Structure 1
Amino acid sequence: MSLFIDCLLSNLGLFALTHVACWTARQLRPAPAVSGTRLFLALLSTAFAFDTALTFLVLADAGGVWRQYDPRPTFPARAAAYGLAALLAPASASFVKRRAAARQPAASRPLEIETSPYSKSTLPM
Structure 2
Amino acid sequence: MGTINSNEYAFFEVENQMLLKASIIDLATLMGHTATEPISSHIFCLEFGFTQEEHDQILLRLNLLSDKKELSLEEVRKQLEQVIPKTSELSKDIFNGMLKIFLKQFDIPLKISDLECWEETNDF
Would you call these one fold, judging by a TM-score over 0.5? no
TM-score (norm 1): 0.28
TM-score (norm 2): 0.28
Q: Max radius of gyration: which structure?
A: 1
The structure carrying a bigger helix percent of its residues is: 1
